[in-house]
C-alpha cells in the first residue's frame, strides 16, 4: 500500500474533506447577491474567531500581503515603527518597512527566545514618535509565542497602533483582538483556518482607521484598505477575489464555530501539552523558551541531523513534519498541530520520531513518548 500521508507542517495544514469537496464544486459568478451574502457570512464568522467587532477585510494573497497592507496603509515613508523580532517572521516586518522607506526600530531577541513586554515598554519610551508596533503572535520559525495582551496594554497607552502577524496561530491560539487592543490583526487561510493558501484577512480598529485616514497617500493600489472598506459596504471586493476559496472557508469556519473558539484554544493547549510531554519523554529538548500551542519545536538530539530524521519520517512513514529554516536547518524538528489535526495524528508523529531515532541507533525506549502524550490526553 502506498504510504498514507500525514501533513503536520506549520502551513499549509490539512483541510477537512468537506471543505475539499466544496472546492470541487462548479465555479460561479461573484458579482451576485448570493456571493455577497456568502462573503458577509464568512466575514462575520471570522469576527467571532478574531474575537473582534472590527471590520475584517479579505485579500486574495498570501498572509504576507496582509502584513504589507497593514503597514503601508497606516505608516507613511520616513515615519517610525517598532518591530519586535524573535525569528524569521518577525524579520519580515523589518523587511516590509525597509522596502517602503519606513524607519524600523528593531527590538530583537535570539532565536528561541520571545520579546518581553519590558523591551517594548522601553522602546515605546525611547521612541514616542513611533506610529506602530509590529509583533508576531506565533513565531512559527522557532515555535515561540508572544504575550500580545501585554504588548496591547502598552501600545494602547500611546499613539502607536499595534499590528499583529497572527498568520500562524489565529484560530488555534488565544487571540482576543479587541480585549488585547490589537489594532490590525492579520491572518492567512492556510493555517488554523483549515483552507488551502490564497486568502488573507485583517481586522482594523477605529484607532487604526484613524492612522490610515491620516496617511496622505499610501503607496498601495491592490492592497488599498480604504478602497476595500468601501467595497465591503456592499459585501463586495475591489477585484475578483479567490471566491471558490471563500466558499470553502465557510465550511471550515462552521466547524470552528460549532466547537466554539475558546474550546478550540483549550484543545490546542492540550495538543501542545501532549506533544511536549511526548518529545520530552524521549529526551528531546524544547527549542523555544516560551512555546506557543500551535506547534511544538524540539532540538535534534546531539550528533543527529534533523534533516535525516525528517527525510526518514517522510519516506518511511508518510509523516511530513517541518525542518528549521536558514541557520536552524538540520537543528530542529517542527511539529504543527493546528487546524484539522486530532490527538491520534500527534501520537502518530511521536511514534514516527521514536521509530526513526531508534532505527538510527539513538537510545530511545520505543513507546515511551507516545505513552507520555497519551497520559496527557487521558486527563480531562
Binding site for its own copies (CB under 8 A): 5, 7, 9, 11-15, 20-21, 23-30, 60-65, 68, 95-96, 99-101, 188, 190, 196-198, 217, 219-224, 238-245, 320, 322
Residue of 51, 27, 48, 30 whose CA lies nearest to 39: 30
> Residues 55, 202: contact at Cβ < 8 Å?
no
Closest CB 114 distance from its own copies, rounded Å: 23
Closest CB 27 distance from its own copies, rounded Å: 5
Closest CB 100 distance from its own copies, rounded Å: 6
Closest CB 292 distance from its own copies, rounded Å: 19
Within a 10 A sphere around the Cβ of 370, how many other Cβ atoms?
22
| Closer to its own copies by Cβ: residue 87 or 198 | 198
| Residue 203, strand partner residues | 56, 185
> Residues 189, 197: contact at Cβ < 8 Å?
yes
Residues 324 and 174: their CA atoms lie apart, in Å, by 25
- Residue 105 phi/psi, 5-degree rounding, is -90, 115
Q: Which residues contact 154 (CB under 8 A, 6 or more apart)?
A: 117, 120, 121, 124, 133
| Closer to its own copies by Cβ: residue 153 or 331 | 331
| C-alpha 19, offset from chain centre | 20
Within a 10 A sphere around the Cβ of 312, how many other Cβ atoms?
18
| Closer to its own copies by Cβ: residue 163 or 370 | 163
Closest CB 30 distance from its own copies, rounded Å: 7
| Closer to its own copies by Cβ: residue 101 or 128 | 101
| Closer to its own copies by Cβ: residue 40 or 219 | 219
| Closer to its own copies by Cβ: residue 110 or 233 | 233
Closest CB 278 distance from its own copies, rounded Å: 22
Side-chain-facing half-sphere of 374: CA atoms under 13 Å:
9
Closest CB 231 distance from its own copies, rounded Å: 13
Residues 56 and 284: their CA atoms lie apart, in Å, by 41
| Closer to its own copies by Cβ: residue 126 or 239 | 239
Residue given cell 525611547 in the structure block: 126
Closest CB 108 distance from its own copies, rounded Å: 20
| Closer to its own copies by Cβ: residue 27 or 378 | 27
- The Cα-based distances of 226 to 18, 134, 185, 343 in angstroms read 34, 20, 16, 42
Residue of 194, 179, 347 whose CA lies nearest to 278: 347
Burial of residue 336 (CB within 10 Å: 0-12, 13-18, 19+) is buried
Closest CB 225 distance from its own copies, rounded Å: 13
| Closer to its own copies by Cβ: residue 196 or 369 | 196
Cα 334–Cα 339–Cα 341 angle in degrees, nearest 5: 75
Amino acid at each position: 500500500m502506498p504510504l498514507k500521508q500525514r501533513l503536520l507542517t506549520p502551513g499549509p495544514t490539512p483541510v477537512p474533506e468537506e471543505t475539499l469537496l466544496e472546492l470541487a464544486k462548479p465555479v460561479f459568478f461573484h458579482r451576485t447577491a448570493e456571493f455577497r451574502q456568502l462573503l458577509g457570512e464568512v466575514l462575520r464568522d471570522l469576527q467571532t474567531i478574531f474575537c473582534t467587532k472590527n471590520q475584517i477585510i479579505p485579500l486574495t494573497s498570501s498572509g504576507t500581503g496582509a502584513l504589507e497592507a497593514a503597514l503601508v496603509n497606516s505608516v507613511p515613508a520616513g515615519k517610525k515603527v517598532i518591530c519586535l523580532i524573535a525569528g524569521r517572521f518577525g524579520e519580515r516586518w523589518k523587511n516590509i518597512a525597509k522596502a517602503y522607506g519606513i524607519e524600523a526600530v528593531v527590538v530583537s531577541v535570539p532565536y528561541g527566545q520571545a520579546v518581553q513586554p519590558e523591551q517594548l515598554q522601553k522602546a515605546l519610551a525611547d521612541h514616542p514618535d513611533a506610529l506602530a508596533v509590529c509583533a508576531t503572535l506565533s513565531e512559527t520559525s522557532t515555535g515561540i509565542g508572544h504575550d500580545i495582551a501585554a504588548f496591547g496594554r502598552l501600545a494602547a497607552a500611546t499613539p502607536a497602533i499595534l499590528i499583529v502577524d497572527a498568520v500562524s496561530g489565529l484560530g488555534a491560539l488565544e487571540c482576543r483582538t479587541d480585549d488585547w487592543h490589537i489594532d490590525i490583526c492579520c491572518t492567512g487561510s492556510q493555517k488554523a483556518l483549515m483552507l488551502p493558501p490564497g486568502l488573507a484577512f485583517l481586522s482594523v480598529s477605529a484607532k487604526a482607521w484613524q492612522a490610515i485616514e491620516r496617511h496622505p497617500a499610501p503607496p498601495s493600489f491592490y492592497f488599498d484598505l480604504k478602497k476595500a472598506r468601501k467595497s465591503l459596504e456592499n459585501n463586495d471586493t475591489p477585484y475578483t477575489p479567490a471566491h471558490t476559496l471563500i466558499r470553502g472557508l465557510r465550511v471550515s469556519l462552521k466547524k470552528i464555530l460549532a466547537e466554539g473558539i475558546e474550546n478550540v484554544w483549550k484543545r490546542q493547549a492540550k495538543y501542545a501539552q501532549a506533544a511536549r510531554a511526548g518529545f520530552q519523554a524521549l529526551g528531546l529538548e524544547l527549542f523555544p523558551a516560551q512555546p506557543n500551542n500551535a506547534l511544538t519545536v524540539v532540538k535534534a538530539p546531539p550528533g543527529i541531523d534533523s534533516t535525516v530524521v525528517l527525510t526518514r519520517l517522510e519516506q518511511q512513514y508518510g509523516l511530513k513534519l517541518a525542518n528549521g529554516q536558514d541557520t536552524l536547518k538540520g537543528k530542529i524538528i517542527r511539529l504543527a498541530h493546528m487546524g484539522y489535526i486530532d490527538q491520534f495524528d500527534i501520537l502518530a508523529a511521536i511514534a514516527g520520531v521514536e521509530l526513526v531515532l531508534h532505527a538510527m541507533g539513538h537510545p530511545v525506549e520505543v513507546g515511551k513518548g507516545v505513552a507520555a502524550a497519551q497520559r496527557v490526553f487521558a486527563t480531562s
